[in-house]
Structure 1
């Protein structure tokens, strides 16, 4: 379990830094679709080289590829598009807060669709996390109801993505291979969307020699985050992965304060504390259960 927590925490921390890189690329005139396209497109050669060096089998079959597209690439890609599009209607803080309701949706899916039992301490931790997340909320402008709907939908699609990662049809796939085919599927989908929406024409972009480097860094960080998340999910399952992924907004806040000199409000500090206490509650409860089980077997 400890290894799973480390991997998911690493993924969450890297995901928390990615918005800083993305924001820098936005300043050159790129939009959400073009950034997302290159983010995944540039991951393909990196992952392919790693798979070849490590002699990993790339055979998955047509059915396997279709499953990856429908259950992994599609919800993952939709999450990015829905969340980025919501920024056009509501504040980034509000959109991000609504998106991070996804642990609740993960648990709801596990209860009502997969009929799984949820431990009481996990539910208590989830409640604490929801209180903490609510502290990050900006004032809602109800004129932006469409943006609120988009952000909610991004939470649902991301929850579906996390739940699918622990399913057997993906559990048996190597994380590097799964990430490779996911990147290919998302790149093709975003490439088609970008072509018809003319997002890949770069007419409004200001070229700078640093842009390729920023995209490479973004793709490399994304690869670390995605692969770590997939590995961590295999050890923790979707429910605990969703809860420990909440280190991401904390990392984003810290990064914003340190790198962008953003103002740190008292409520955000309280929110971070609620999330951290909830995570510690899960860790301690799991370690106690492990000790009890080991005593019973002696």
Structure 2
């Protein structure tokens, strides 16, 4: 909705982060004041926190915002939805968690669905669409890495402290990016851009960031990522309602296959529990 006003990706990301920053600072200060038991944290814990804050809500968001300049939100969501399988793979590579046959089939189905959706019509020959798809995939990869790191660090920092620190780090990274790469004025847009930026800061950043962290604390990064199967359909519906986007037959089939792949993992996890 904001891109119709020709706002740049970095400006839109900057509005999103700056408008949410005061809330994170206040929550962090209140949480630290209420804490009775102080966890002993090492320097490397803060280094990892900085790293995951950098990739989680700076790189992942920036790649996604860039990608949305080249592809529609409905297709972006389908590609982004590979992140549950990426979480499984990252956990396997770095934490030696076993990947079952059901999960392998789910991963294969997920990527078949993405290829079908991505290659529908003449899009496969459009290098602009390919660029957008690669950028969104990088967003999925960095976000998956953040989820894995969250599951590891949240028990040490606590949900509120970890989330607030991570988002403050991300905001600092966005501001530095803006100062180094794009120093054009941020006060050149119609008021609707700032309204949308504020709504994104609260509804699409502040609230979900804490919900994500609490969910990871309760059920783990892998289960959280898998249970995000509502994502593609909710975005498609919202894009059709608010952006007047349409969805091709093959994109719909691709979305169905992606969700079926994820549901295989969900069903297997329920069986194991």
Same fold (TM over 0.5): yes
Tell me by how many angstroms 1:148 deviates. Answer: 5.3
Output the aligned Cα RMSD.
Answer: 3.1
Instruction: Answer yes or no: is the 8 Å Cα contact 2:54–2:170 preserved in 1.
Output: yes
The C-alpha deviation readout for 1:159-181, integer Å capped at 9, x for no partner, is 211211111x3333222222211
Counterpart selection for 2:164 from 157, 180, 185? 180
Tell me by how many angstroms 1:32 deviates. Answer: 1.2
Tell me by how many angstroms 1:33 deviates. Answer: 1.0
Tell me by how many angstroms 1:254 deviates. Answer: 0.9
Q: Name the residue aligned to 2:112.
A: 131
1:59-208 aligned at under 5 Å gives the runs 63-87=44-68, 90-92=70-72, 97-137=78-118, 138=120, 139-141=123-125, 143-144=127-128, 149-167=134-152, 169-199=153-183, 201-202=185-186, 205-208=188-191
Tell me by how many angstroms 1:35 deviates. Answer: 1.4
Instruction: Answer yes or no: is the 8 Å Cα contact 1:31–1:199 preserved in 2.
Output: no
Tell me by how many angstroms 1:200 deviates. Answer: 5.2
Partner Cα distance (1:223, 1:288) in 2:
34
Q: Secondary structure of the residue that 1:42 maps to in structure 2?
A: helix
Partner Cα distance (1:276, 1:94) in 2:
14
Change (3 A) 1:62 1:38: farther
2:224 is the counterpart of 1:232: no
Aligned residue-pair number = 263
In structure 1, the gaps of 5 or more residues are: 1-23, 291-298
Instruction: Answer yes or no: is the 8 Å Cα contact 1:68–1:181 preserved in 2.
Output: yes
What TM-score does the superposition give when structure 1 sets the normalisation length? 0.73
Partner Cα distance (1:154, 1:231) in 2:
22
Tell me by how many angstroms 1:52 deviates. Answer: 5.1
Q: Name the residue aligned to 2:244.
A: 261
2:11 is the counterpart of 1:34: yes
Tell me by how many angstroms 1:280 deviates. Answer: 4.2
What TM-score does the superposition give when structure 2 sets the normalisation length? 0.79
Q: Name the residue aligned to 1:215.
A: 197
In structure 2, the gaps of 5 or more residues are: none
Instruction: Answer yes or no: is the 8 Å Cα contact 2:53–2:170 preserved in 1.
Output: no
